Amino acid sequence: MGEFLVASIEQVKAALGQAADQGTINAQQIRTAIEATDQTLARLRAVGAGTNHPLVAEAIARTEQSRQRLVEATALLQSSAQAARNYLNAL
C-alpha cells in the first residue's frame, strides 16, 4: 500500500494563514479593479450623456454588471479568508 503523508498541525496552521492572507490580498486587488471599473463607468456615462444610443447603453449595462460581479467576488474572498482564519483559530 502507498504511504500517506500527514501534515503536522503547524503545517496546517501555516497553510491556513497563508491562504487567508492571499485571499485578503486578492480581495484588495479586486477592489482596485472595482475602482477602475467605476472610472470606466464614469467615462461611458459622460460619453452617453445627451445621447440615447443603444450601444452606449449596452456598454454601460455590461460594465455595471461586471462591477457587481467584482463586488460579489470580493465578498466571497473575504468570507473565505475569514473561514480559514476561524479554522486556524480553532486548531
HEC readout, 40-84: HHHHHHHHHCCCCCHHHHHHHHHHHHHHHHHHHHHHHHHHHHHHH
- Is 6 a domain residue? no
Residue 54: predicted pLDDT: 94
- Is 2 a domain residue? no
- Is 1 a domain residue? no
Residue 6: predicted pLDDT: 81
- The structural domain count of the chain equals 1
Q: Is the pLDDT of residue 36 over 80?
A: yes
- 74: domain range? 13-90
- pLDDT tens, position by position, 69-84: 999 999 999 999 999 9
Name the pTM for this structure: 0.84
**Grid-cell match 467615462, residue found:** 43
